[in-house]
Structure 1
Amino acid sequence: MPAAPPLAVTADPAAAYPELPRLRTALQSRDWDGVTAILADQETAGRTRLIRFAGESEAADQLSRERLGADPSDTLAAGLLGSRLIEQAWKVRTGARAQNVSRLQFIRFHEILREAEQVLIDAAAYDPSDAAIWTQRLITARGLELGKSEARRRYDRLAEHDPHHLPAQSQLLQQLAPKWSGTLEEMHGFARTEMLAAPEGAPNAVLVLEAHIEHALLELKGDERARYFRKPEVREQVQEAAARSILHPAYRRTVGWVAVENTFAFMLTMMDDYVPAARIFTGLGPLASETPWVYLGSPVDLFTQFRDRAMKKGGAR
């Protein structure tokens, strides 16, 4: 029998997380009990990620507004509405650099974010322990340019209840990057501190790679960028991060694992470290993620190109 054709590469998180298609169906069918049950089964980081993914669904808007109208203290409804509004705001702004975003785009972007901010402020007052609310308030703080101090204050409030919440840590790392008024030293320092603070086997070590990718792709160009990825100290830090996370015996694939492993595959291929990159790509199968590929173009196309290169140069031998 001929071999089955390989599965098409996809960046849809629903292909990796069976909870997400069930969540989308529950939203579309207006099954609030179903939505609640699906998210109640998740650990906090998975819950936050699923709420963020759900923001891509138009069905999240009307249903969450109705739930908040009936019960203003329903922080799940607030989280879903906040996620939907943030998704809408960034579609207006686009991912372009600020100088390429029009004045009218910025006006509308800020209007939508201010609505999301008010929804999330109210929710945080009802339940200050809800990590999904604070994670999204880090996004609105960045979009509304409230500054590093306010972003750090919000993160610290979250960390009082969940000190290793990776979705929030990734958002704060963005705030600490130079493109959002931070510095390279702050960004790298935060990533390393949180990697070492997290339990071994936790995925938080990926923050170290996220910082290196931000540094190389947004601050450097050409040969300087290529040399950065090949620095011995960068290689050592990536190896340390892998040993503490995806290669550690305690590592588990929870909601969010696809982006973590894509980030390692991306970084190792950029480092020309093809053997471990090929192993990660093999484990990923057809599952791409939006980040970090979107920094360079189409996630599906780039995942495929990098995977083919890694498998050719570092596959089974």
Structure 2
Amino acid sequence: MNKKISLLILCIFTIFISCTSTKSVANKTETPKLEKSLLWKITGNGIEKPSYLYGTIHLTCDYVFTDKLKKAFDETDQLALEIDMSNPNLQAEMMKFIFMEDGKTIQSILSEEDYTSLSTFFKQQVGMDLKLFNTMKPLAITSTLTSKMANCETGTAYDMEFMKVAKAQKEKVIGLETIADQMKVFDNIPYEDQLKTLVKMAKEGMDESKKSFEEMTRYYNAEDLEGLLKVTADQGLEADFQENLVDQRNRNWIPLIEKIAKETPTFIGVGALHLPGEQGVINLLRKQGFTVEAVY
């Protein structure tokens, strides 16, 4: 496998997770509306020093390391992300999970017409032959196409920028889950369903995807989590996918966040759509007795 493809695969877990997490369904239980902020201070419930929670977007043209971000990093001693991006074995671990099993291929799953549509679209967007990805899980294709939605030559991932800050401050980096955890989530979604979404994108054209991405980015830049949740609701996943991709992961993180926050003041960065809602991280932490306040 050439270096270019390997680098693209490295982007999968910093881009695609957030993009799928933006698909939401309506909450059955009303929760208090959140103030407009991406940064939240966690105190109470046995915490001696505050930790901070930040909603990231994994692809942006508008990254700014604000004063409130700097202050939060200065007040914390370690960085927690969805996965530990500092792991030197990260690429090797990713490669263990990126290929489909049982001899399945993209071409064998799709009809000839749909494969041709996706192949042509993929070549137009990224300049690569879809055959290079034929044995890979649809996630690899989705992530590569997602990177083309930003209207700038080089998008920035908040996760990677936060890693630079942590390294400069000689702070430990930890993950809330492993590569295996994340891949298990996506493997619960049939490849056929994942590919249907890709074919739909190919037939509609990249302009439609860019419009959705731009609208989502406007709400994100306004630090409006409620607005972001609302604007992405009409792109909703099936309820069981929402449960697997977002809600269950949020619940899995809470005991770990509670543990690390009580042990060490921590800056926690996760995809922004993991924060709001009844099953969002903010509400779940509050249910555990923590005070979670917006930082302006």
Q: Report the TM-score, using the length of structure 2 for normalisation.
A: 0.30
Which structure carries more helix by proportion?
1
Q: Which has the higher contact order (CA 8 A, sep 6+)?
A: 2
Q: Report the TM-score, using the length of structure 1 for normalisation.
A: 0.28
Which structure carries more strand by proportion?
2
